[in-house]
Amino acid sequence: MPKIVLLESDTVTTGDINLQDISVLKDAVILNSTDVSLLIKNHQDVEILLINKYKITKTELDQLPNLKMIQVLATGYDNVDLNACKERGIKVFNVSGYSTHSVAQHVFALILAITNKVHYHWQMSRDGIWSNEPKFCFYAPSMMELRNKQMGIIGMGNIGNTVAEIAHAYGMDVCSYTRSPENIKYPWIESVALLDLVEKSDIISLHVPLTEDTSQMVDEGFLSNMKSSGILINTARGGLIDEDALYNSLNKKEIKAAGLDVLQVEPPEQDHPLLSLNNCIVTSHMAWATLDARLQLLGTANNIISDYLAGKEQNYSLV
């Protein structure tokens, strides 16, 4: 059995998954995020490496001479230098599709947290505010019903289409901006230009990868064209948004609210400006991490590595 090392194990389990139940990990070296420096220090003879966001560049590869395979425990693999791996004959694999439903679900968790203010009303009940009301009900002003509202989705991969399905179930009208309109699954999704989507949408949800073209696509101009009642949701990549521009727009109430699961730098500094705003909900890059999604992620990775060890043809290697 080749030497296998799993880095950042604490990103795929909080103790709710026993990694020893994953067959390829039974004899593996398991390291947490705080211990990744031990890879180069103590495990230079690793042959199969499992990572999440750990950066693999030529520097790391030069110090891992026995490395034959990298399994990325995520869909995105921009943290791996694929060209350097190809030069060294190192196979690289990712896992796609495992978090589609989890991320789509979190999109609406953020939307409903903004529109229905469930946590706020729960806290008002716990704090006795409701108990002291002269009337039978207590509610925050201007809660919004989703039915007949316009949902704008930027990017129509699996997650974008699943978000569209949920929006449609709520009775929302759905439009999309995508460079691959052939990926739109449903005839009731209207394909529009980006500016049209920004101007007409009540809620905008981002579902594109971070590239040179999409970096900070949500800038001052984008935000200025949104409705003043508009809501921005980002569960994709933090780099899609100019965070200074978003802070200014939210702080001046130029748009209603934002729900973010990702930021440019993660984890953020405690004094990150967006964390100070009452109209910006920020969660900790956890939309993908339901138990179901993580079990699927590890199960697929286990199958990929098992096939590799069995010498089966791997047409889905990234290099």
**Contact, 255 vs 231, CB < 8 A?**
yes
Q: Give the span between the Cα atoms of 205 and 109, in whole angstroms.
A: 12
Please say if 237 is a catalytic residue.
yes
**Tokens found for residue 39:** 């890879």
45 Rama sector, left if φ>0, alpha if ψ -120 to 50, beta otherwise:
alpha
In the set 101, 106, 207, 285, the catalytic residue is 285
Helix (H) / strand (E) element for 246: namely helix 243-251
In the set 60, 237, 243, 294, the catalytic residue is 237
Cis peptide before 267 (omega within 30 of 0): yes
Helix (H) / strand (E) element for 176: namely strand 173-177
In the set 87, 133, 145, 266, the catalytic residue is 266
Residue 253 DSSP code = T
The position carrying tokens 């009642």 is 229
Residues with active-site annotation: 237, 266, 285
